[in-house]
Chain A
């Protein structure tokens, strides 16, 4: 087993009386695509925010490449090699697709000419070359999401956190996004942790999945194992369904 790229240990985050993440522990290894799933309100985005420095956890730690990054500000975490996208896209409005990606590329390439080359390469990889000089404001949602992915990739991450990149995409766009995630892993060698509700996408795409429910990790494993886990069946199909059918074998 190689050393983990990311280690989350006993992580907790509280909002008033609500424990959004409770003692969550897991590790991500280099080269993996890992799905982070769970019903609405399970604490998936909160966990992303804790890992990327948008929230400060109330307990536990986050280690990246063996370094404790708990409580670091987002920009420092990005510089360390973790990039992310947002559930509700946050592209830089008023800038073109190319300029958006340039912002990412400048992180590791102070030379603008070199940064522009990186940005062009990433736009090419993400299939955005044709829209490079369009303002992102007018792009359809599928392309805005792709611009966001391109911008994060341009920061040269080792780990990319994707927050619901499939939501709102039509089946064709979704297929393109799946292909892109595969290429991010194979061509760029970037490890991927993705929050995703579109189960028919995330399950076949992930090497492993981690399941949260009410802030607690209830399962972790290969997709085929996880779908037969009684706790997962309960979380997704309800208590009465699990009681009646939960012990049945695989589909």
Chain B
């Protein structure tokens, strides 16, 4: 199907001989928000890392816009238009907000495109404009998360992957981050969202996958998935 942006097929991957993914398969369709949920250690982060090339799959395929990308280097995958916003924000703490954002655009050479992206980020997160000259390490946790997302958007990504964007944030800030993700979707960017905040993630998502110990055990439209009683057994094992 031509509107599939990303297809992960039967990917096995892990770290130093210890596997975390045991045949993950999922699809992300253009324009959708797809949520990947599951308990701690289920393999959500490793799935994102296998997509962005930070972990090389031992077997299986990752196809992005019709092209196999498993085996490519992370910077090559980034250049194709996949932005990976890692868990824990990982902003450059000693650099200014503006420099952090500019670094997100390092593969985009066109100054007009950079300017457009910067305006997009600042309209999405006005507080980043207010703090543009501030050192990133002095931002609050929520602001750092906004910066990390903004840095990803500077790539003009076709696929934005967010790993636990609400982790450690106060409830009000969690809502703001989810609002921002909804707005990013409205603007046409496809999103793959990893979250432990199950309700928020599945309410927002067009489609969701529940993974358990490195495999998809449940999938479906977000709202429908949330109502399923099977979701509890996917988290609690019975």
Contacts and interface: CB of A to CB of B under 8 A. Distances in A.
A204 interface: yes
B238 A203 contact: yes
Contacts of A204: 237-238
B110 interface: no
Nearest to A141: B18
Contacts of B212: 199-200
A168 B20 CA distance: 6
Given A198-B213, A240-B200, A224 B18 contact: no
Interface in B152-204: 196-200
Interface of A: 39-40, 140-141, 167-171, 174, 197-204, 223-224, 226-227, 232-233, 236-238, 240-241, 244-245, 248, 251
Contacts of A236: 39, 235-236
B237 A168 contact: no
Contacts of A203: 236-238
Nearest to B41: A197
Given A171-B22, A204-B237, A141 B213 contact: no
A162 to B, nearest CB: 16
A227 B232 contact: yes
A219 to B, nearest CB: 11
B199 A199 contact: no
Given A197-B40, A251-B233, 9 more contacts: A141-B16, A197-B39, A198-B213, A199-B236, A204-B237, A224-B238, A238-B196, A240-B197, A251-B232
B14 interface: yes
3 nearest A-B residue pairs (beta carbon): A199-B237, A168-B18, A203-B237
Interface of A is mostly: helix
Interface in B214-235: 229-233, 235
Contacts of A174: 213
Contact of A244 (B15, B197, B199): B199
A226 B229 CA distance: 16
B111 interface: no
Interface size class of B (residues with CB under 8 A): 20 to 34
A168 B238 contact: no
Contacts of A233: 232, 236
B107 interface: no
A90 to B, nearest CB: 15
Contacts of B237: 198-204, 223, 227
29 contacts: A140-B17, A141-B16, A167-B18, A168-B19, A170-B19, A171-B213, A198-B213, A198-B237, A199-B212, A199-B237, A199-B238, A200-B237, A200-B238, A201-B237, A203-B236, A203-B237, A223-B237, A227-B236, A232-B236, A233-B236, A237-B198, A237-B231, A237-B235, A238-B196, A238-B199, A240-B198, A244-B199, A245-B232, A251-B232
Nearest to B174: A240
Contacts of A40: 40-41
Which of B15, B197, B235 has the most chain A CB atoms closer than 10 A to its own CB? B235
Given A197-B40, A238-B196, A248-B229, A168 B236 contact: no
A134 to B, nearest CB: 15
Q: Which of A141, A233, A251 has the most CB of B within 10 A?
A: A251
B199 A241 contact: yes
A233 B238 CA distance: 12
Interface-centre pick from B198, B213, B236 (highest chain A CB count, 10 A): B236
